[in-house]
Amino acid sequence: MIASPNHVFFILDGDDSDLVGAGAGPTGSAAIEKVFETYYSMRGHPFKGTDFTGRSDYGPFIAAGIPAGGLFTGAEGIKSAAEAASWGGTAGIAYDPCYHQACDTYANVNDFALDVNADAVAYAVLQFAMNTQAVNGRRGKGNFKPDHWGPDAIR
C-alpha cells in the first residue's frame, strides 16, 4: 500500500494531530509518525495524515496497545482536487482503481511513489534498529541518534 498509481503520501496519524476519526495510536505511535514526517520534510515531499482505521495489518497491534505507524498511498478512496494539486495524478478517481481486484498486479504500481516510500521505510527501519527510545522509553543499544542525518545525507 505504498505505491498506489494515483498516490498521496499519507502517514498514519499516531498522535491524532489531524483531529480526525479514531484518535491517537498507542503511546509511542507519535514517534513513529514523526520519523516519517521528518523524512518527507527532508526530501521536500508533501504529506498528509491518515487515521488508524484498523483495516490493515497494524490493527491487532494497536488493539493490543503496541505502538504502530506507517505509510499509505491510498486505496479505494477518491483523490480530491487539492490532493491532485499537491501530488499530481487525477482528481475524482480512486487512489488505486485496482484495489483488491484482479488488475492489482505489479503493473498497477507507481514507481515514483514506491521509490520514495521504500526509502522512507528504510530510513525508519534504520532509526528504530539503532534506537527505540522515542517509541518505548528505553535507551537503545546503538549509538545512532535519530536526528543524526541532515537533508544532505538522504539522497
- DSSP character string of 63-95: HTT-----EE--SSSBPPHHHHHHH-S-TTSBS
Cβ atoms within 10 Å of 41's Cβ, excluding its own: 12
The predicted structure's pLDDT at residue 55? 78
8 A C-beta contact, residue 5 and residue 108: yes
pLDDT of residue 146: 55
pTM of the predicted protein model: 0.87
- Radius of gyration of the chain, Cα coordinates, nearest whole angstrom: 16
Domains of the chain and any CATH numbers = 10-136 (3.40.630.10)
Residue with cell 495524515: 49
Sheet order of strands, 71-72 included: 48-50, 10-12, 71-72
The model's pLDDT over 22-57, given as tens digits with 9 standing for 90+, comes to: 788 899 999 999 999 999 999 999 999 998 877 788
What pLDDT is attached to residue 41? 97
Phi, psi of 49 (to 5 degrees): -75, 155
Cell numbers representing residue 134 in the block: 522515542
Decide if pLDDT at 87 tops 90.
yes
Residue with cell 505505491: 3
**Residue range 63-74: mean pLDDT, rounded:** 94
Handedness of CA 63, 32, 89, 51 (dihedral sign): positive
pLDDT at 137: 86
Residues forming beta bridges with residue 48, ordered by sequence position:
10
Q: Quote the percentage of the chain above a pLDDT of 70.
A: 90
More confident residue, 21 or 29: 29
Q: How confident is the model at residue 138 (pLDDT cuts 50, 70, 90)?
A: confident
